[in-house]
Structure 1
């Protein structure tokens, strides 16, 4: 016999345990497009903190939360990545794009980090991720997250294969081959469509 009472109270069964687990298919984070990032610009403005954050989102949120003027060496960013910094530390140097330099020049930095709270303190990793999602929601882009910007940049790099190798080394994208494969499929589909259209045109000429 099993006890049905504990401490004088009836033991209520946990119905949730009766539900069998099920897998949900998902494509992961959405990929930000240039048009969507332009919408952030239109909604928040060029001098907004949100646009500054998006401009330096080639890094992970964990790195953006600590990135500051002390990591800049003229036209380069030099820092140790937060991910696996204790187990497998990795220092990188990444060149500043002229657009990023222009955005940084518009923001007077008085703190140790480029992105700080209203109280002048650095964001924690979790709170910065939440704030970025909030900025996207205000711009009507609630489906985007911080990682969406990195995915969009990775996809853009994959479509511009001549720059891919250097950007992979700098940004530590070990899975860029996924985006490169998708870009190759898109190029192949476009080529086949063009060839089939051309073949159809030739046939029509001989009818």
Structure 2
């Protein structure tokens, strides 16, 4: 058994005392797997305890790894640029969810290119990278990467990244500005997630009656029109004065949404629980976003609806509002969208035939009334 130095007996664990070449007594933190550190504060002081806790924290390992990584970065390189850019998370978006997604996009771009100088990046390099991003690939976990939308998003974020490099004075022009835009032919355009029809909604309700978790999940998604990350974590603490008060995770927007009678009935039909969420797993824990998506996918399959997904219900609510000819401002007050083009993308599945029938009917009635008012018969000519 290794004996401890008697001079170190009064010291905290992993702390040693020694005399440096100038004859000054020093204290050092040494623990296997942790970076070695020298104390600046005197033993027994509050400042010493703060230093000790920091050096002995598991975070110290990650910090040391990050410091070593930064030390290896080549000044003026893509890796150096990305480190500076990510230092202010607000550059990536208003919410933690958005910031995480954009960080992953940029880190995938930088992987294998960390040492390349930013000043050497030209528009043709960006064109090549974007072109490869349009090709869909599947990894070993079954996750799909790439595609037209992914390529558009990558180009958008690279433009912002290299605009930052221009602000730093590393480049005089942004190479992304001169690169080709991602153009998609009509035949390549994706309609995204399948939008539930009224028949789909009826079929699901028929399979999963009130009082089931499956039914509550569907009604929550349908009547709040929110993203999964927000809808699945709703609970009674979010209800104030008969309305849901929701802070959207992606946008940070605060929404106050009335609770539809159909949703209230689905909530009231469930057994009482002390959980903070209306929806919980079979172990009584809140769902993760991915976990809920997979679970709900199984419930749709059980109802004979293989094309239906949780996100498709968000589109179904938008479709319903479009079919009722609600204005964009009204639809955005429910969904939380900011731009009209976002609303248009979600309402593509509105009942075109029914809306066209109604439009022609109203136009014909208007013309007939005009003819009646001026006593003429336009069809006779």
TM-score (norm. length: structure 2):
0.41
Cα 1:145/1:74, change in 2 over 3 Å = same
Greater displacement, 30-39 / 121-130: 30-39
Look up the match of 1:40.
204
Cα 1:119/1:185, change in 2 over 3 Å = closer
SS class of match (2:306): coil
Q: How much does 1:49 deviate?
A: 0.5
Look up the match of 1:125.
289
Look up the match of 1:101.
264
C-alpha root-mean-square deviation of aligned residues, in Å? 2.9
Matches within 5 A, 1:186-205: 186=353, 187-188=355-356, 191-192=359-360
Mapped partners of 1:184, 1:118: distance in 2: 38
Gaps of 5+ in 2: 1-133, 137-146, 148-187, 365-381
Runs of 4+ residues over 6 Å off in structure 1: 193-196
Look up the match of 2:324.
160
SS class of match (1:56): helix
Matched, 1:74 2:241: yes
SS class of match (2:275): coil
Matches within 5 A, 1:159-178: 159-162=323-326, 165-173=329-337, 174=339, 175-178=342-345
Gaps of 5+ in 1: 1-19, 197-207
Cα 1:77/1:163, change in 2 over 3 Å = farther
Mapped partners of 2:250, 2:357: distance in 1: 37
Higher relative contact order (CA 8 A, sep 6+): 1
**Equivalences, count:** 174
Higher-Rg structure is: 2
1:159-205 per-residue CA deviation (whole Å, 9 max, x = no partner) reads 11246533421321342234557649542366459999xxxxxxxxx
Look up the match of 1:90.
253
Query: Is contact 2:257–2:334 with CA below 8 Å preserved after alignment?
Result: yes
Query: Residue 148 of structure 1 is aligned with which of 302, 307, 312?
Result: 312
Greater displacement, 154-163 / 142-151: 154-163
TM-score (norm. length: structure 1):
0.73
